[in-house]
Amino acid sequence: MNRINSPVLLLFILLSIQCSSGQTNEKNANTSLVLTASIPMPGVTGRIDHMAYNSKLHVIYIAALGNNSIEVVDLKSKKAVHTIKALSEPQGIRYIPESNVIFVANGASGECDVFNADTYQRISMIQLEGDADNVRYDPVASKIYVGYGDGGIAIIDSKTFKQLADIKLPGHPESFQLDNEAKELYVNVPDAQILATLDLVNNTIKNKWKIDSATANFPMALDAVNNRLFIGCRKPAKLLVINSETGKTVSSIHIDSDTDDIFYDGSSKQIYISCGGGYIDVIKQTGPDKYEVLSKIESRSGARTSLFVPELNQLVVAAPSHSGKEAQLMIYQAGTGFLPVP
């Protein structure tokens, strides 16, 4: 009897182990981001745009575009602690630690305001033509880059806050990424349906690559090590992986609707995509040209802007007020990113 049942028992044990392993990996896949806190922002109404992090004070600065304010949220106490009011549709924002200032780009007025991060007093202002939007900062070159207007990148000295140069584009720039080593800037120009490469030595356009497989190319992230750009398109909703040296699309993945922020974490090889449709898509890079959907995590309708903070290994997602629920920051802890077993 034992000889008859032993093979059956062994088969049962092996199947149980396989099922258990599959369930564990599925669980890990589904918890690639874990919601650990929701921080209310009372009185904040309308659309929320981009964010910045101050590691010294452990606070997040939120450009509350529809509220015409900058909201300051303390991640330690998990409370909103200050509001900078009377702005003009703030969109882009950056904390500059070397000078301890908050740099804010205003869409309605084209003004770029500079605030002291301790007192919140405005100490400087740069006037651009209009629709001042995304902001990037190069601490090595002490330069701030601002996309604005019908087509331009303004280059601003981060010490004097004076405009140094201007690079014209064939349409309003959305997200753009800085490659310090290549001394290039990669820019999404959805109106012209192109990806532009800017030469930052000569301040000129180096390449204008047409994007054909999808339109409304808004957010962007960069993997400088593998020369890969991750571009979120809204029509249709896709993530395009593009070789930054050739402009060729090497992969395309369907994502959720209305994305506005993408972040690439080089340590975990994970891509985080916040979508206004109410989800966060997490995609695993298994090779420069190979990508797998790791998980789709429910957030909240309209929560399309986010900020990945590498030193905390956290994704911060901004959820605007919606259907009677007040605005809030949703804090997700990033996991290890295991893929499910087929």
Name the band, by pLDDT with cuts 50, 70 and 90, for residue 31. Answer: low
State the sign of the Cα–Cα–Cα–Cα dihedral 203, 208, 213, 215: positive
Residue 161 domain flag = yes
- Report the helix count and the strand count for the chain, using DSSP H and E: 1, 28
Name the band, by pLDDT with cuts 50, 70 and 90, for residue 3. Answer: very low
Whether residues 196 and 320 share a domain: the answer is yes
- Residues of the domain holding 308: 182-334
Name the domain boundary from 168, 191, 219: 168
Whether residues 207 and 301 share a domain: the answer is yes
Phi-psi map region of 268: left, alpha, beta (phi>0 left; psi -120 to 50 alpha):
alpha
Whether residues 100 and 132 share a domain: the answer is yes
Strand, helix or coil for residue 74? strand
- For residues 136 and 282, give the distance between their C-alpha atoms in angstroms, rounded to a whole number: 24
| pTM of the complete model beyond 0.75 | yes
Pairing mode, if any, of strands 290-298 and 279-287?
Answer: antiparallel
- What is the domain-level CATH number for residue 110? 2.130.10.10
The tens digit of pLDDT for each residue in 286-301 reads 999 999 999 999 999 9
Whether residues 189 and 306 share a domain: the answer is yes
Whether residues 330 and 207 share a domain: the answer is yes
Q: Is the pLDDT of residue 254 over 70?
A: yes
Q: Average pLDDT, stretch 53-74? A: 98
